[in-house]
Amino acid sequence: MSPEFVPEEYSRRQETVGGYPVAITSYRLGSTYHAQAEIHLPGTGARLARAEEATREAAEEKVLAEARRLIEKKR
């Protein structure tokens, strides 16, 4: 496998967004950071957003903003 296709700097954490637990996962492939936000409820789950950015912070910020938008829209 080519080194640029091996995920590095993997991170997973949980945040509360609009009262719901949301798992934020991020990693780097080559020079691009990938992030995704998933609603994290027992027995269920769904990906809310994905993003690719030049920095981890930018990718995570983008998926969190989209998760907030979607959760607030549901209310």
The amino acid occupying position 27 is Y
Residue 1 pLDDT more than 60? Answer: no
pLDDT tens, residue by residue, 35-66: 999 997 777 779 999 999 999 999 999 999 99
pLDDT at site 17: 93
Taking the whole predicted model, whether its pTM rises above 0.75 is answered as: yes
Mean pLDDT of 24-44: 91
Structure tokens at 1: 């496998």
- Give the C-alpha separation, 41 to 15, whole Å: 12
pLDDT at site 63: 98
DSSP annotation of 18: T
